[in-house]
Amino acid sequence: MKLYYIPAACSLAPHIVLNELGIEATLAKVDHKTHTTEAGEDFTQINDLGYVPALELDDGELLREGAAILQYLADQKPALGLAPANGTRERYRLQEWLNFLTSEIHKGFIPLLYARLAGAYVAPAKLKLEQRFAWIDAQLRDRDYLMGDAFSVADAYLFALTGWGQAHWLKSYYQADIHFDELQHLKAWWQRVSARPAVQQALRAEGLA
CATH code (residue 153): 1.20.1050.10
170 & 122 share domain:
yes
Per-chain mean pLDDT for the chain: 93
CA atoms within 13 Å, Cβ hemisphere of 114: 6
Q: What is the pLDDT of residue 166?
A: 65
Determine the Cα angle at 167 with ends 121 and 99, to 5°. Answer: 60
Q: How many domains does the chain have?
A: 2
93 & 188 share domain:
yes
73 & 87 share domain:
no
Q: What is the largest CA-CA distance in the chain?
A: 48
Three-state DSSP at 96 gives: helix
- Judged against a pLDDT cut of 80, whether residue 106 lies above it is answered with yes
23 & 99 share domain:
no
Q: Which range of residues forms the domain containing residue 165?
A: 83-196
118 & 153 share domain:
yes
Q: Mean pLDDT, to the nearest integer, of 140-150?
A: 97
The whole-angstrom separation of Cα 90 and Cα 203 is 29
- Judged against a pLDDT cut of 80, whether residue 1 lies above it is answered with yes
- Judged against a pLDDT cut of 80, whether residue 169 lies above it is answered with no
Q: Mean pLDDT, to the nearest integer, of 73-95?
A: 98
Q: Is residue 207 part of a domain?
A: no
Q: Which of 15, 48, 79 is the last residue before a domain boundary?
A: 79
pLDDT band at 59 (very low <50, low <70, confident <90, very high): very high
- Judged against a pLDDT cut of 80, whether residue 168 lies above it is answered with no
70 & 159 share domain:
no
pTM: 0.94
Q: Mean pLDDT, to the nearest integer, of 168-195?
A: 77
Q: Is residue 204 part of a domain?
A: no
41 & 118 share domain:
no
- Judged against a pLDDT cut of 70, whether residue 171 lies above it is answered with no
pLDDT digits (tens, 9 = 90+) for 24-46: 999 999 999 999 999 999 999 99
**What one-letter code names the amino acid at 155?**
D
25 & 96 share domain:
no
The whole-angstrom separation of Cα 146 and Cα 137 is 10
Q: Is residue 202 part of a domain?
A: no
136 & 95 share domain:
yes
Q: Is residue 208 part of a domain?
A: no
